[in-house]
Structure 1
């Protein structure tokens, strides 16, 4: 009786209290309680913080749980001892030899008896006992579950990202309404109808993007649930007997690959910039030629890593870089603006981070320079997740408009403290900075994060090396 009690105790110690089966890939928490890794992951809500022990509710400080190899090996032995290596059911009796099927053929994925495995048909195939084959397939299923779980966490992050985009877009639409109304005040009263139509179309487009973001969130949630369901199915399959596991293997690996390959594409809500009637003609009246061209650049400076980090962020070390070839440059022109209205156009690269605008006279110190962001009006084009975003420093705001191709127009009304940026192709508004009071000379400024920089007229050849700052 004591031996039976001891055996029962040992079996209990090798049993997960969540699924009540022998451990699969067991992990031990800070409190000392152990669980199957799949059971523990499924018991934790994906957004739960902090993670608690399902048994005693103690907070687990470990984020990277290691497999308890001793428990895993003992549970594997107990599972093998539990399963009858020779199933006496009629289905597992070889009709040809009236013998039990206890060998698994890797080539045919079938159970065979000993005589069949030695036959001419199978003698060149790899054979393993069913227990060994089942344990190896359990390991493969556990690895597949780990991949599904990691992808599920990525989907959770994507869900948060899409939710933040939707919230940001709703706030941004209100801000952009103010900018658009201010832009239309520059024109005559007959443009009011065009202004109203522009706002209606923008709101409709924004609502469509919001719908797309909502649909994207639903797809991500559905994909998360599909993966969790597949995860549960693989977990349940792991707990089947060796024979059932191998018989039911079927296309489960193909289905898991299909689920893993269904990663939803994220939505980038870029609103269309409309061209205001007559605006480009009005801006052209104040056009200043040859601004920031090879002939009118008064200073070119290669950026140090510190200055580069301020302008483009400090995550560039994640990109492969060739020493002596990847460079970042700042340039400012010899034009100085102290009054009046001025408009100029500047070529910008299509696949690089860049900064464009006006700033106070720059203080040069050895190989670095100092730029006062409070006294500058700048437009940033920075890359995040293979998508370029426009942002400004006054106010600090991401602008949900499509990235222009080609030249950017800069309009400066020094006396009214207005700086706005336009798509030079049609004069459409990209953004208008908050009005300010200028009491100092302003210089045109451009900075490019590039691998190649060849000033030839006003052409820059570049490659991206930087990432958007946080």
Structure 2
């Protein structure tokens, strides 16, 4: 049965992949209590790569796992290792570092995508969910030529951004803030205020084109 036009539109805006709508249901797998990441970041020189174990089957990593490209058909989910780390229904991938204190900063080249989300999420977030749709992920997104901030499925428009080739993400764990940074000025464009309660991972959703991450950077002066 065809999906009603309205329902399809809502699913698309929420970020569900085309291929995921036809994937047969698989039982949910509980995440282990301990996760294998490289280390825990306590400063703003966060160095990370994208974690292939978490990548949805429609996402391919390249440039030594610092970049990700979206492929509409993607891989046959039955040919992808089915493990509790991997996102099952949504085109999401995590970074392989955790953030549990301090200020962390990285940048993302976004010029080759017209629909994406970048931000952070609880490292133990359910792999059945999508970043921005629950209370354990916080993102800035771009779709339909507009920017927005999103958490718990609530969308707040972000204005005066345009479409830069590259943006910065600044997390202050103790202050409970996630900021979108204009790297040309530099200046903070928009801030989400959060009460972080668990280790975080850099988080990315992608439904068009590609993203390239840049980590291990110094925080630009003047953002504090």
TM-score by length of 2: 0.53
Q: Of Structure 1 and Structure 2, which has the larger fraction of its residues in helix?
A: 1
User: Could you tell me whether the CA contact under 8 Å between 2:94 and 2:204 is conserved in 1?
Assistant: yes
Q: How many Å apart are 1:287 and its aligned residue?
A: 3.7
**Alignment-derived partner of residue 407 in structure 1:** 166
Count residues in correspondence. 143
Q: CA offsets, 1:174-219, max 9 Å, x none?
A: xxxxxxxxxxxxxxxxxxxxxxxxxxxxxxxxxxxxxxxxxxxxxx
CA contact (8 A) 1:373 1:393 kept: no
Q: Which has the higher contact order (CA 8 A, sep 6+)?
A: 2
Following superposition, the deviation at residue 390 of structure 1 comes to: 0.6
Corresponding residue of 1:349:
111
Matched residue, 2:203: 445
Q: Which residue of structure 1 lines up, in the alignment, with residue 95 of structure 2? A: 333
The runs of 5 or more residues in structure 1 that have no matched partner are 1-285, 305-321, 460-470
Q: 1:351 to 1:439 in 2, by over 3 A?
A: closer
Measured in 1, the distance between the counterparts of 2:138 and 2:73 equals: 31
Q: Is the 8 A contact 2:117 2:204 kept in 1?
A: yes
Q: Is the aligned partner of 1:359 residue 2:121? A: yes
User: Which residue does the alignment assign to 1:396?
Assistant: 155
Q: Distance in 1 between matches of 2:202 and 2:181?
A: 15
* Corresponding residue SS for 1:377: strand
| Mapping 1:40-439, distance limit 5 Å | 287-291=44-48, 293=49, 299-302=54-57, 324=73, 329-361=91-123, 362-364=125-127, 368-369=128-129, 371=131, 373-383=134-144, 388-394=145-151, 396-433=155-192, 435-439=193-197
- Aligned to 1:439, the other structure's residue is in SS state coil
Q: Is the 8 A contact 2:106 2:213 kept in 1?
A: no
For residues 390 and 436 of structure 1, what CA distance do their matches in structure 2 show? 19
- If each structure's strand is expressed as a fraction of its own residues, which one has the higher value? 2
Aligned Cα RMSD in Å? 3.2
Mark the runs of 5 or more structure 2 residues left unpaired by the alignment: 1-42, 60-70, 76-89, 215-224
Could you tell me how far apart the structure 1 residues matched to 2:56 and 2:46 are?
Answer: 23
C-alpha contact 2:92 2:130 (8 A) present in aligned 1: no
Partner of 2:65: none
Please say if residues 381 and 390 of structure 1, whose CA atoms lie closer than 8 Å, have aligned partners that are also in contact.
Answer: yes
Change over 3 Å in CA distance of 1:338–1:390 after alignment to 2: same
Q: Which has the larger radius of gyration?
A: 1
1:380 Cα deviation (Å)? 1.0
Q: 1:337 to 1:351 in 2, by over 3 A?
A: closer
How many angstroms apart in 2 are the aligned matches of 1:343 and 1:323? Answer: 30
Question: For the structure 1 residues 354 and 379, does the alpha-carbon distance in structure 2 shift closer, same or farther, using more than 3 Å as the test?
Answer: same
- Whether contact under 8 Å (2:58, 2:74) holds in the other structure is no
Distance in 1 (alpha carbons) for counterparts of 2:72 and 2:93: 22
TM-score (norm: length of structure 1) = 0.27
Q: Is the 1:345–1:410 contact (alpha carbons within 8 Å) kept by the matching residues of 2?
A: yes
Cα drift, residue 344 of structure 1? 1.0
